[in-house]
Amino acid sequence: METERNDTTNKKLLMKWHRLFVLLVFLPNIVFSQGAIEKQSRLSDKVFFGGGLGLQFGSITAVDISPMIGYKPYTNWFIGIKGNYQYYNNNTYHQSTQIYGGSLFTTYILFENVALYAEYEALSLESVYFDPSQLQSKNQRFWVHTPLVGGGFAQSLGQRSKLLILILWNLNETYYSPYSNPIIRLTYFY
């Protein structure tokens, strides 16, 4: 009974954050008319690539690979999709896990160096690693849906390249979430 109530509550919360994410994606288009922002003429000027890479070695080994591709409808507005693969190995407790999934994101650059960011991420986690009560189900996985919002510093590294240093908040911080607030992320795209 309690599990059903939690599932219903989680679904309602997830729908609320989904609506907020959709609003954040389309807000710049509503606020600015097409004539107010310089339009780019070629598709190659509007498509961007990038991602992130994280490495950690020692008692905990961690590898994080996050490739992305996106589209710039306007000069300062970026929309895209991102894949995510994470590997963790805790050498002290001889435990390892793999996390994978993807996300939709949007970034809007205010002024020259201030970035607003929103992301909706879905990650597949192993039950045995993230839910100790599920020890009998070694190969089962479950999905965690995470809306992330925040902002940070955007630095141009050339005509097309940008480096973002972001501080994000997980709006669905639960027991199963792989993140704790705040989340600091470094992202590069060109």
User: What value does the mean pLDDT of the chain take?
Assistant: 79
Yes or no: say if 106 and 24 are a contact pair by the CB < 8 Å rule.
yes
Q: What is the CATH number of the domain that holds 151?
A: 2.40.160.20
More confident residue, 112 or 14: 112
3-state secondary structure of 72: strand
| Domain, as residue range, for 182 | 2-189
The predicted-structure confidence for 47-86, as pLDDT tens digits, reads as follows: 999 998 878 788 878 888 999 999 999 888 999 999 999 9
Judge if pTM exceeds 0.85.
Answer: no
What backbone torsions phi and psi does residue 75 show, to the nearest 5 degrees?
A: -55, -40
Q: Quote the number of domains for the chain.
A: 1
Instruction: Write b or e for each residue in 132-147: b if 16 or more Cβ atoms lie within 10 A of its Cβ, otherwise e.
Output: eeeeeeeeebeebbbb
